[in-house]
Amino acid sequence: MTAAILSSPHGPRANRVDQVMLQVLLALIPGVLVMTWFFGWGLLINCVLAILFATAAEALVLRLRRRPVLPTLGDYSAVVTAVLFACAIPPTLPWWLTLLGMVFAIMLVKQLYGGLGYNPFNPAMAAYVFLLIAYPVEMTNWLAPHLLTQHHLSLTESWRLILFGALPPDLSWDALSAATPLEALRGQLREHQVMDAIRGASWWGSLGGRGWEWVSSAFLAGGLYLLWRRVITWRIPVAMLGSLLMLAGLFWLIDPQHHPNPAFHLWSGAAMLGAFFIATDPVTASTTPRGQLIFGAMIGVLVFVIRTWGGYPDAVAFSVLLLNIAAPTIDHYTQPSVFGHGRKS
């Protein structure tokens, strides 16, 4: 049913998809603006490039498949994929990697399976993971938030850096870049530092990493807007954040010198973005009420496990993709009983 609704290019169903996607884009605005404030113009440039590349890739595939182009582009699903991808990548990622990511997301992950409603994986996260594995240096080269550096790239400097890889003559990458809070925490814990010492670092904020906590709060505000507008249901985000909070809290209580407080897990990295905008994708998530609770809770568990013992400091993309694989099985075993058709004893 979900596939049929989301893939229909005409009529009231298509209008419903349009409205949902526009609401998601509206809810993303606070997070995009706050990220731009802390990390510079590169995010907006990446959004524009990703949207152009995604729509061009979708139009090309639709032409090759001899499908109508404008109705499909008009559902804004490619635009949502592009903006989510732009929010996940470093703000100075070279343009050709953004192009490669959008081609992978739209052509291979989405259209190869039949288009919107049939793709088994979240396209934005699949593209992010693909680039992270193939180009780990470029995909982890984050700018320091403006609270922690005196060097701010102008719009022109950001544009030149993304398009040509040209740094301003008086600046170096060491002066501009910084590890994300989750990367910094992982590195210092592996150097056998304790949390009392780590909490004194300049990048540590009140709830999460400095700057990042405001970004997460902005995405939380957007997610609450989606709940208020009933674009998404509460089950997946509450289950995901709740399981992450409980696991992080348990290990923090057991060993507070080697595990951060649970708020750090929620307000650092992509937890809020993932809980409200990525895990709730109606095509790739579980669709039954009980299944959504299981789906969200398992994502939260995997995020904590990979962050704590895995090879990547932030694990939202990997966790979502792994549960995308499991979603059909979860739905199969959590179908609600039809009234009058219960199991016979």
Residue 22 CA to residue 79 CA, distance in Å, equals 9
DSSP code, position 145:
P
Secondary structure class of 127 (helix, strand, coil): helix
Q: Is 209:314 a contact under the CB 8 Å cutoff? A: no
Residue 68 CA to residue 200 CA, distance in Å, equals 57
Q: Which stretches of the chain score pLDDT less than 70?
A: 1-15, 338-345
Q: What's the confidence (pLDDT) of residue 289?
A: 95
Q: Is 92:161 a contact under the CB 8 Å cutoff? A: yes
Closest of 108, 264, 249, 279 to residue 186, by C-alpha:
264
Over residues 233-274, the pLDDT tens digits come to: 999 999 999 999 999 999 999 999 999 999 999 999 999 999
Token pair 């992978």: residue: 104
Q: Is 119:109 a contact under the CB 8 Å cutoff? A: yes
Closest of 17, 253, 219 to residue 115, by C-alpha:
17
Q: What's the confidence (pLDDT) of residue 225?
A: 97
Secondary structure class of 264 (helix, strand, coil): helix
CA distances from 235 to 48, 279, 283, 293 (A): 32, 11, 16, 5
What are the residue ranges of helices labelled H in the chain?
Answer: 2-7, 11-39, 42-64, 69-73, 77-88, 95-103, 123-134, 136-139, 155-164, 173-176, 181-190, 195-198, 212-228, 235-254, 262-267, 271-273, 289-309, 316-333
Q: What's the confidence (pLDDT) of residue 18?
A: 82
Q: What's the confidence (pLDDT) of residue 326?
A: 96
Q: What's the confidence (pLDDT) of residue 342?
A: 54
Q: What's the confidence (pLDDT) of residue 274?
A: 97
Q: What's the confidence (pLDDT) of residue 172?
A: 78
Q: What's the confidence (pLDDT) of residue 15?
A: 53
Q: What's the confidence (pLDDT) of residue 303?
A: 97
Q: What's the confidence (pLDDT) of residue 313?
A: 84
